[in-house]
Amino acid sequence: MTLTLQKVTKRYKDFTAVQDLNFTIDKGEIFGLIGQNGAGKTTTFRMILDLQETTSGTITWDGMPVNKLNRDLLGYLPEERGIFPQMKVEEQLIFFGELRGMKHDVLKREIDFWIERFDLEEKRQQKAETLSKGNQQKVQLIASFLHLPQFLILDEPFSGLDPVNMELLKNAILLLKEQGMTILFSSHQMDNVEELCDHLCLLKRGVSLFSGSLLDLKKQYGKIKLTLRTHLPLEVLERLEGVKQVREERDQFVLTLQDESYARKIFERVSNGEYIEKFSLDYLSLDEIFKDQVGGSHV
Is pLDDT of 82 > 80? Answer: no
Rounded distance between C-alpha atoms, residue 193 and residue 186, angstroms: 8
% of the chain at pLDDT higher than 70: 99
Q: How many domains does the chain have?
A: 2
Do 78 and 176 lie in one domain? The reply is yes
Do 148 and 274 lie in one domain? The reply is no
Rounded distance between C-alpha atoms, residue 225 and residue 181, angstroms: 35
Do 162 and 277 lie in one domain? The reply is no
**Segment 181-205, tens digit of pLDDT:** 999 999 999 999 999 998 999 999 9
Which pLDDT score is estimated for 65?
93
Q: Edge-to-edge strands of the sheet including 182-186?
A: 74-77, 151-155, 182-186, 30-34, 199-204, 207-213
**Segment 201-229, tens digit of pLDDT:** 999 999 999 999 999 999 999 999 999 99
Is residue 255 domain-resident? yes
Contact 20, 44 (CB under 8 A): no
Which pLDDT score is estimated for 26?
95
Do 149 and 242 lie in one domain? The reply is no
Do 241 and 145 lie in one domain? The reply is no
Which pLDDT score is estimated for 161?
87
Do 42 and 180 lie in one domain? The reply is yes
Max alpha carbon distance in the chain (Å)?
71
Do 162 and 30 lie in one domain? The reply is yes
Rounded distance between C-alpha atoms, residue 210 and residue 207, angstroms: 9
Q: Edge-to-edge strands of the sheet including 252-257?
A: 243-249, 252-257, 225-229, 278-282
Do 132 and 70 lie in one domain? The reply is yes
Is residue 105 domain-resident? yes
Is residue 87 domain-resident? yes
Structural domain including 257 reads: 223-282
Torsion over CA: 20, 23, 24, 25 (sign):
negative
Rounded distance between C-alpha atoms, residue 240 and residue 234, angstroms: 10
Please compute the mean of the pLDDT values over residues 22-30 and round it to a whole number.
Answer: 96
Is pLDDT of 81 > 80? Answer: no
116 Cβ contact partners less than 8 Å away, ≥ 6 residues apart: none
When pLDDT is cut at 50, 70 and 90, the band that residue 298 belongs to is very low
Contacts 24+ apart (CB under 8 A), 113-121: 114/142, 114/146, 114/172, 115/89, 115/90, 115/142, 117/168, 117/172, 118/142, 118/165, 118/168, 118/172, 119/168, 120/89
Please compute the mean of the pLDDT values over residues 152-181 and round it to a whole number.
Answer: 92
Please compute the mean of the pLDDT values over residues 232-260 and round it to a whole number.
Answer: 94
Quote the pTM value: 0.89
Is residue 288 domain-resident? no
Mean pLDDT, the chain, rounded, equals 93
Do 21 and 154 lie in one domain? The reply is yes
113 Cβ contact partners less than 8 Å away, ≥ 6 residues apart: none
Query: How many alpha carbons lie under 13 Å from residue 202 in its C-beta half-sphere?
Result: 20
Is residue 65 domain-resident? yes
More confident residue, 299 or 179: 179
Is pLDDT of 234 > 80? Answer: yes
Do 208 and 156 lie in one domain? The reply is yes
- Calculated CA dihedral for residues 132, 133, 137, 138, nearest 10 degrees: -30
Which pLDDT score is estimated for 296?
56
**Segment 96-105, tens digit of pLDDT:** 999 999 999 9
Is pLDDT of 233 > 90? Answer: yes
Chain centre distance of CA 195: 9
Which pLDDT score is estimated for 74?
93
Which pLDDT score is estimated for 198?
86
Contact 114, 106 (CB under 8 A): no
Is residue 295 domain-resident? no
Do 134 and 267 lie in one domain? The reply is no
Do 277 and 160 lie in one domain? The reply is no
Is residue 290 domain-resident? no
Identify the three-state secondary structure at position 57: strand
Rounded distance between C-alpha atoms, residue 152 and residue 179, angstroms: 12
Is residue 287 domain-resident? no
Contact 176, 144 (CB under 8 A): no
